[in-house]
Chains A and B, each alone.
Chain A
């Protein structure tokens, strides 16, 4: 009885705190969602131009999307989409293989080069990423990968070549799988390769999916390497450069609303992937075998 009474006595203050907290959350959520909401509105805006005199659009239309997907003369968005898709798929395959291979080796195998590798990776991580970029461009140029459709291969190489340095999350995951499971398989005559493919991989679905998705997303959101590598080769542009260009002085008036439409279009799948992936990310952090 006393606890009931106490609860009742507590509740006005508590209720006030609760109302305040929810109010605060609502305001914050509005701040976070508003820009996204605004870009969606803009993608349906009828009047062109980046700057308008009103916060909300005056008229609504689907033309921005139509123009984005059909105009092939000025900024060929469908082509860019195709380019990016090809690059993303190839890059995804290479990077996933690289990341998982390196992480597994570092987590499970013991070899002389192991510690030095991890130290080197840490040191390389401290260099600003763009420092290597110009030099990478020169190297690709020396290899002849900076002209025509070879730019795609160049981009795939640039995106996936160094992914072996990003092993930390996957290695952390593999580290949580008990050693004795591997040993049990080895006792049964499995080679390390069989342990990797038949024991560890099935156990590591969350981290495999996480790796696949992050490496798939990378080419969609990078505009810097792509810009340096593509320069003026418009038919090699990726989506990110396309969107970037739409906001440059020469295009912004005509293309701003299309930019919004493009942003919405590529954000939907990436957001969906991310929201889906988030679960695996959390699982990946907490390990494969519980207990």
Chain B
């Protein structure tokens, strides 16, 4: 559906994107994830046409649109903080694009009301000024405005980043449901890994103008391809030389010349090790109580190890308590030293 072939974008001497290759499938919810300045928004703006690449092509449905003017690309966009036109009513906001395209009044009206119904905007809300709407309603208007011209793709540029935490989760779910209902190919840009993991069919992780990995949420989380990805997505322990040496003495075969990592939830405290698992003695330094789970900071084998345990209400360890950390060497993710610098 969307093919980005060898996209290179330069701002003066600065290369913002190096050879970006992405293939987004029809109907997919595809996320560009990365820290700020990684090139994710630049890639999105290349697709929408606000930026023209120095090299490479953008192909949508077998049509090369690299040099097609923005308005002829048939793409809808939902901006960060929505960029609704503040002087217009909700209705006029949605109808703006149709008016520009000089559709007749009746046609515009049908289309606007149709899309409004689909995104759950009532007739009373249509005549309101956009400033009178709540954050969630504004998001719906923004989506309706993006969809009313019946685009082939919808792009979303951090649409949830200006909202408070609770609303963010609520709107995230609403967004996902709407995307499912419309079945429209969606490109979503965010720096929030949780958002990316919950919403996406597939994720492209960006770093310094390169794509580090493209994969499903499970792939990028459990099988991070690069050190950057495993660091950026989720919390992780880096295993130091002393720790690696200790578990190797106890039967593991971990290459100490690599950078070794293990996720917090793969470690356990005070359980009986079984087939190949290794127990490392340690002492609880501090703990953070989250309710759903508890995070322990344990000093073991000369370093601090973070472990997450489900809060079952029975096994709760106190600060200063001696414990054993159970590790399964097969859960360790190893990366060659000297890859692209870790930023996260």
Contact = CB atoms under 8 A, between A and B. Distances in A.
Interface of A: 178, 180-181, 183-190, 194, 199, 202-203, 288-289
Contacts of A184: 77, 79, 83-85, 145
Given A180-B81, A180-B83, A181-B85, A187 B100 contact: no
A203 B77 CA distance: 21
B293 interface: no
What are the 9 A-B residue pairs with the smallest beta carbon separation, nearest first? A188-B97, A189-B71, A180-B83, A202-B87, A180-B79, A184-B83, A189-B100, A181-B83, A190-B100
B149 A188 contact: yes
Interface of B: 48, 50, 70-71, 75-77, 79-81, 83-88, 96-97, 100-101, 145-146, 149
Contacts of A180: 79-81, 83
Nearest to A183: B50
B254 to A, nearest CB: 48
A209 B344 CA distance: 49
A111 B87 CA distance: 28
Nearest to B142: A184
B81 A187 contact: no
B46 to A, nearest CB: 14
A203 B87 contact: yes
Contacts of A189: 71, 97, 100-101, 149
A186 B80 CA distance: 16
Contacts of B84: 181, 184
Contacts of B101: 189
A86 B77 CA distance: 48
A199 B86 CA distance: 9
A187 B85 contact: no
A181 B85 CA distance: 6
A185 B86 contact: no
Contacts of A288: 86
Contacts of A186: 70-71
B158 to A, nearest CB: 11
A93 B145 CA distance: 35
A212 to B, nearest CB: 18
Contacts of A187: 48, 70-71, 75-77, 97, 146
